[in-house]
Structure 1
Amino acid sequence: MSNEMIYDPLLKEREKQPPLELGPIPGVLPYAGHRSPLSRSSIAHKISMVLPTPATKGVPRVYHFESAREAAVGLEAVISPELYELEVQLPPIPYQDWQGTWRKHSFDARITFRSGFRRAVFVRNGTSLRKPKVQADITAIFAATPASFADDKVVVNGDLYTRGYRDNLFRVWEATKRPDQEADVHLLDVARRTTFWDLGQLIRSCELEGPRAFDAALRLIGCKALGTNWHTLIWMRSRVWVG
């Protein structure tokens, strides 16, 4: 029996389906982006997350991201103690491309810091960023973005957010859900007063139970008080240092 597919001219192409919609979630603020990136795709890795920020007074809000890399950028922003508000899929900015054609671009994110400083974020993979046309478009988009929209604009190479980096971000995020200021202060104080090479040595030098100390280490790594290699699994043998 042949495995070849038989072409039937009477069959119509599958119509494009509308983006997926997420219904109300009790106790969670709805998605606030200008557009939903949750179109059906067999290639793109769309991600939805529920994240609280100081702007929502700690009430979680739904966020939709067009890729795992964009989600990592957003999660890294939320982990930062300097963050005030995170916005994604911003209203489009009209601009003229390198051929003079008018187009629109929606920034992937806008980060507002506690100081009030606002940063618009453009996320692309490294292959795309190496293309002269994309670089020309970025220049045009940034030039067309009004000062009222953001205080500065940055390009983020999504390739920097490797699988290991993203996994560690989620582990740090989980640790931040279990705040323990006493443990954080104690572990950082020990780190500043003792000599150590890896995380295991640091934890054995403190007076905290292992799991509590490990969570404290993840939170300190997340806020840059401790440094490590984010691209490999953070564990007891990880090289760490005071940030």
Structure 2
Amino acid sequence: MVTPDHSPGQPAMSYPFEPSFIRPLSSKAARKPPARSKSSSRGHVIGGGSPSGAPPRLRYYESKREQDVLYLLLARPDVVDIWDQPPPVFYHDANGRKRSHTFDFLITLTSGKRIAIAVKPDAIAERQGFREALQRIRAAAPLSFANEIVLITERSYCPSAARNAQKLHDFKRTPDPEADGSIETLVRCLSGPTTIAELVEASGLGGRAFRAVFKAIYAGVLRALEPGDILPTTRIIPEALQ
């Protein structure tokens, strides 16, 4: 089977097999976001099964920024679990009134550390005094819920990092061991920097190799020498040579 699947600036993609369907696990969200909103982008992402080899899981997001953060978390090798919309934390505001806050994500790292993540636009966090409220939430949250509480805004990451993470997520949805093995063999023969396009050409696998190289960068086999979007023109070097 050959399936065109490419965008400008990327090689055409093709696969020698039909991907099998794996039914995703349900979201663990304590509350399901409304399906429609006039002011934000809402949806879900399927992927990132944990532990390794487990079926992928459905996770909700309520804005484009939350979607970016979710892709960034899914791309991190030290994140073993992502809980979207975990149970709320109850706290008292500055006037002594009891309130609740539901974090956007609660992640667990390979170390066992649990981090609760709130995602907000920087301007809104400033206008609403959310950082001050977060101090109260942090004080009220039990250690059994999270070891650390953080706020992520658009100042916390580069847009290109989120775009790369989304591409990684898309590429990992269709495993291709043959292409991965071919790239690993070619990487062992490299003695210095090259471009992704040159490595893809050497493989003879076209777009399949581009995806394999992309995944190899995130796996720590290769390192991109320039920041920004990972493209065929991106210069790379084996991590072992560093």
TM-score under structure 2 length normalisation: 0.74
Task: Give the drift of 1:209.
Answer: 3.1
Classify the secondary structure of the residue corresponding to 1:130.
helix
The whole-number CA distance in structure 2 between the counterparts of 1:55 and 1:31 is 15
Residue 124 and residue 188 in structure 1: after superposition, are their counterparts in 2 closer, same or farther (change >3 A)? farther
Classify the secondary structure of the residue corresponding to 1:155.
strand
Among 58, 63, 67, the residue aligned to 2:59: 63
| Partner in structure 2 of residue 116 of structure 1 | 112
Contact 1:54/1:83, CA 8 A, preserved across alignment: no
Task: Give the drift of 1:148.
Answer: 0.5
Contact 1:94/1:105, CA 8 A, preserved across alignment: yes
Task: Give the drift of 1:95.
Answer: 1.2
Among 116, 132, 139, the residue aligned to 2:135: 139
- Paired positions, count: 215
Among 201, 220, 223, the residue aligned to 1:226: 223
Give, as a single letter, the amino acid of the residue that structure 1 aligns with 2:224: G
The whole-number CA distance in structure 1 between the counterparts of 2:226 and 2:41 is 25
Task: Give the drift of 1:208.
Answer: 5.5
Residue 46 and residue 208 in structure 1: after superposition, are their counterparts in 2 closer, same or farther (change >3 A)? same
Rg bigger for which structure?
A: 1
Q: Percent identity?
A: 23
Spell out the pairing of 1:9-88 with structure 2 (5 A cutoff).
Answer: 27-55=23-51, 57-88=53-84
- Structure with the larger RCO, 1 or 2 (CA within 8 Å, 6+ apart): 2
The whole-number CA distance in structure 1 between the counterparts of 2:70 and 2:36 is 21
Residue 176 and residue 33 in structure 1: after superposition, are their counterparts in 2 closer, same or farther (change >3 A)? same
Contact 1:53/1:86, CA 8 A, preserved across alignment: no
Give, as a single letter, the amino acid of the residue that structure 1 aligns with 2:42: K
What is the root-mean-square deviation of aligned Cα atoms in Å?
A: 3.0
Residue 152 and residue 44 in structure 1: after superposition, are their counterparts in 2 closer, same or farther (change >3 A)? same
Among 205, 216, 238, the residue aligned to 2:234: 238
Give, as a single letter, the amino acid of the residue that structure 2 aligns with 1:87: W
Classify the secondary structure of the residue corresponding to 2:165.
helix
When structure 1 is superposed on structure 2, of 173-182 and 116-125 the one drifting more is 173-182
Spell out the pairing of 1:193-204 with structure 2 (5 A cutoff).
Answer: 193-196=191-194, 198-201=195-198, 203=200
Give, as a single letter, the amino acid of the residue that structure 2 aligns with 1:128: I
The whole-number CA distance in structure 1 between the counterparts of 2:37 and 2:50 is 33
1:53-104 CA distances to partner (integer Å, 9 max, x unpaired)?
Answer: 1248521222111112212222222222223211010111011223333211
Q: Which stretches of structure 1, 4 residues or longer, exceed 6 Å deviation after superposition?
A: none
1:22-64 CA distances to partner (integer Å, 9 max, x unpaired)?
Answer: xxx9833222200011242112100212224124852122211
The whole-number CA distance in structure 2 between the counterparts of 1:73 and 1:138 is 19
* 2:100 is the alignment partner of 1:101: no
Contact 1:98/1:133, CA 8 A, preserved across alignment: no
When structure 1 is superposed on structure 2, of 48-57 and 32-41 the one drifting more is 48-57
Contact 1:72/1:161, CA 8 A, preserved across alignment: no
Residue 117 and residue 203 in structure 1: after superposition, are their counterparts in 2 closer, same or farther (change >3 A)? same
The whole-number CA distance in structure 1 between the counterparts of 2:151 and 2:42 is 20
Residue 44 and residue 138 in structure 1: after superposition, are their counterparts in 2 closer, same or farther (change >3 A)? same
Consecutive unaligned residues in structure 1, runs of 5 or more: 1-24
1:127-158 CA distances to partner (integer Å, 9 max, x unpaired)?
Answer: 12334711101111112111101122222114
